Structure 1
Amino acid sequence: MIQERNIVTCVILSIITCGIYGIYWFICIVNDLNVAADTPNDTSGGIVFLLGIVTCSIYTLYWMYKAGQKLQLAQQKRGLPSDSNSGILYLILTIFGLGIVAYCLIQSELNKMATPRV
């Protein structure tokens, strides 16, 4: 189940906690994207984060590009409009130090696919 998250709250908490909440948010985004794309056996959020650390962020850049493809797959499965260039956008944003903007864009798309709260 994909959890809907308030993007503004996530950004504020990331700033207040000096990025610690941002790490948690990133891990949740990876896990939610795996669920959305119906690929639950793909690399988990914790492993993606650790591989990013071990490879000096090279794996994180790779994952950001792949996130666009996963997001497109999830959107197609739900009949939602998708953008084939989103992975490149996420990659470029992350390269220029704007990874949190990429998180916001990915979370926005995930929120559209989240199960409505009752």
Structure 2
Amino acid sequence: MAVLYTTHYMEEAERLCDRIGIIDSGAIQAEGTRAELIRLVGGLDQVRLAGTGDTDAAVRALEQVAGVQRVDLVSGGVVCSVTDAPAHLAAIVTAASRELELADVEITRPDLEQVFLHLTGKELRD
């Protein structure tokens, strides 16, 4: 059995649907599971580590952690691009805390809104 459900609310689609189609200007831009669509935009989680200390040493240490694909310096800390951040978070925090006094850790996971923007070049509109 299949149910066709249309919505502009990506959180709703993520929560309710097994397969999702992204349509723009009447044309299907992509279709698949949430994970398949996320892979279209790279699918990497972002782990932001805010703190003070030797950020250059922290970058070198974090680049050695499994799952970390890239590390960038940002104001007040570093941002790691990571495959499956929750699975690697303990190792990331341990490596970073050797070089930084951590004040905050934040994980941002890709979502369908980012996929829509990537595929269409447009923001979602109400």
Shared topology, TM-score over 0.5? no
Name the structure with the higher strand share.
Answer: 2
Name the structure with the higher helix share.
Answer: 1
TM-score band, normalised by shorter chain:
under 0.3
Normalising by structure 2, we get a TM-score of 0.24
Larger Rg: 2
Normalising by structure 1, we get a TM-score of 0.25
